[in-house]
Amino acid sequence: MLLRHTPQETIERKALTINPAKTCQPIGAMYAALGIHNCLPHSHGSQGCCSYHRSTLTRHFKEPAMASTSSFTEGSSVFGGQANLVEAINNIFTVYNPDVIAVHTTCLSETIGDDLTQMAQKAKDEGYVPAGKKVIYASTPSYVGSHVTGYANMVRGMVDLLAVSTTAKKLDQINVIPGFVEPSDMAEIKRIAELFGKKVIMYPDTSNVLNSPMTGKFKMYPKGGAKTEDIALSGDSKVTLALGRFATGIGAKLLDTKHKVPCELLDLPIGLAATDRYVEMLKKYSGQSVPESLMEERGQLVDMITDMHQYFYGKKVALAGDPDQLVALTEFLISIDMKPVHIVTGTPGNKFERRIKELTENLPYKVNYTVPSDLFTLHQWIKNESVDLIIGNTYTKYIARDEDIPSIRFGFPILDRVGHQYFPMAGYKGAMRLLEKILTCLLDKQDKDAPEEKFELVM
């Protein structure tokens, strides 16, 4: 009984987070930056921040995660981190030779008021940034937002400092900005877009960076990642499809205001309807009809839902995770007759609350959500109204064990299972994988618990 401290009676808590359903901005910025080819993320703060983020990314992806740090000392926190950052930029380009350094701040460097724009300029003025190389940056104080916000801010940094517009007339190419999803999802999102035959510029793209093959060689910069020259071209595209408003909205909007690339803010293409909307947009902006192969994938997904719909019916689910994922999941689960009765995110933002309200207000049952919240609250809700399934990151397994509820891993971080790096949950095929996981979980439980006379061979 790991969580025996969780009482059933819910109490009003204003200023205390217990068992957070989020982490801090810098790790999101680091993850996004790893989605640029030949890019070294740089943490402008104490050594520990960088170390924790790398460890967490490594535990989640089972991959090395490269990043450097400004190694703040007491001196730098009094006199400012400029000397450290300028020296770091010089050292990094000299030894690690990336194409891009992507600097993000921490609570420490933000609070002492370090100005990254000015520092990056100083490094440039002193000749530490070789020709053709870039330093991009994002402000990501840990006391604002969450890892999702950090990802969004670094995406915005990419747009701000790498994208350019070269022609007045937009080119027949489509930008795709994926939210904070797995490398496998990014690859799937790109694959679907490319089926429409137009040039697709997608960033960040962590596929083949954080799920790279075993080669027996040390690769500081693995093969994958969006190329800087492609990101530069994104200012000339005719549209940006931003997948997941929380993680991509500000970047996509900046492409619009700065380079006049209009954007479509969509949900993450997780589940049937959300993927349909993504596909609809691709159809619209490519001027092509939906490829037959994609229609087949959709058909298979619908077939699977049809075959198994009785097993989904009325099953109660508790969800914990990041806003973009939760919005898509909630819609999908409702659409297959499941009941998402508890929804928890640690990422603050009332847009999320509004969106969940839209999706759930007409349901004939009550759905619990308050924003932001934590896993302690989720556990209390579950104690008051139990569920058939929990979907969330690894930390939800404490609740699953204590309450003997089946659970599947979804989101960040996943520290105790593999597969998320390689097999997507996005798109039609991803939705099938999600359903397979849900069904396996529910049916295994039924097999295990069924009294002998009700134990079924065919399900």
Partner 1 sequence: MEISILKDREKQIVRKGKEPFKIACGKQSIAGSVSQRACVFCGSRVVLYPVTDALHIVHGPIGCAAYTWDIRGSLSSDNELYRSSFSTDLGEHDVIYGGEKKLYNILISLIDKHKPAASFVYSTCIIGIIGDDVDSVCKRVEQEKGIPVIPVHSEGFKGSKKDGYRAACEALFKLVGTGDTSAIGTYSINILGEFNLAGEAWIIRDYYKKMGVEVVSTITGDATVSDIRKAHGAKLNVVQCSGSMTSLAKMMEEKYGIPYIKVSYFGIEDVSKALYDVAEHFNSVEIMDKTKAMVFEEIDRIYPKILEYRKDLSGKKAAIYVGGAFKAFSLIKALNLIGMRTLIAGSQTGTEEDYKNLSEVCEDGAIILDDSNPAELSKYAIEKEIDLLIGGVKERPIAYKLGFGFCDHNHERKEALAGFVGMLNFVREVHSTVMSPVWKFTRGGSV
Q: Does 10 bind partner 1 (CB under 8 A)?
A: no
Non-local CB neighbours of 161 within 8 Å, separated by 6+ positions: 134, 135, 136, 137
Which listed residue (33, 36, 39, 84) binds partner 1 by CB under 8 A?
A: 84
Min dist. Cβ of residue 377 to partner 1 (A): 13
Neighbour tally for 290: CB within 10 Å? 16
User: Scanning residues 104 to 133, which ones bind partner 1 (CB under 8 A)?
Assistant: 106-108, 111-112
CA atoms within 13 A on the CB side of 254: 19
Which listed residue (8, 10, 73, 288) binds partner 1 by CB under 8 A?
A: 73
- Exposure string of 324-357, with b = 16+ CB inside 10 Å and e = fewer, is bbbbbbbbbbbebebbbbbbbbbbbbeebbebbe
Q: Does 149 bind partner 1 (CB under 8 A)?
A: no
Which listed residue (36, 85, 159, 263) binds partner 1 by CB under 8 A?
A: 85
Min dist. Cβ of residue 349 to partner 1 (A): 13
Report the distance separating Cα 288 and Cα 145, nearest Å: 39
Q: Does 370 bind partner 1 (CB under 8 A)?
A: no
Which listed residue (29, 49, 163, 200) binds partner 1 by CB under 8 A?
A: 49
Beta bridge partners of 104: 43, 138
> Which lies closer to partner 1 via its Cβ, residue 4 or residue 448?
4
CA atoms within 13 A on the CB side of 279: 23
Min dist. Cβ of residue 220 to partner 1 (A): 6
Q: Does 143 bind partner 1 (CB under 8 A)?
A: yes
Which listed residue (37, 42, 104, 259) binds partner 1 by CB under 8 A?
A: 42
Q: Does 8 bind partner 1 (CB under 8 A)?
A: no
Q: How far is CA 5 from CA 242, 398, 399, 401, in A?
A: 41, 12, 12, 14
Q: Does 246 bind partner 1 (CB under 8 A)?
A: no
What are the φ and ψ backbone dihedral angles of 428, each rounded to 5 degrees? -65, -45
User: Scanning residues 186 to 215, which ones bind partner 1 (CB under 8 A)?
Assistant: 212, 214-215
Binding mask 388-407 for partner 1 (x = CB under 8 A): -------x------------
Min dist. Cβ of residue 21 to partner 1 (A): 9
Question: Contact region for partner 1 (CB under 8 A) — 9-17, 160-168, 182-190, 314-322?
Answer: 9-17
User: Scanning residues 217 to 236, which ones bind partner 1 (CB under 8 A)?
Assistant: 217-220
Q: How far is CA 109 from CA 45, 168, 301, in A?
A: 6, 39, 48
Q: Does 386 bind partner 1 (CB under 8 A)?
A: no
Closest CA to 246 of 162, 163, 145, 110: 145
Contact 199, 50 (CB under 8 A): no
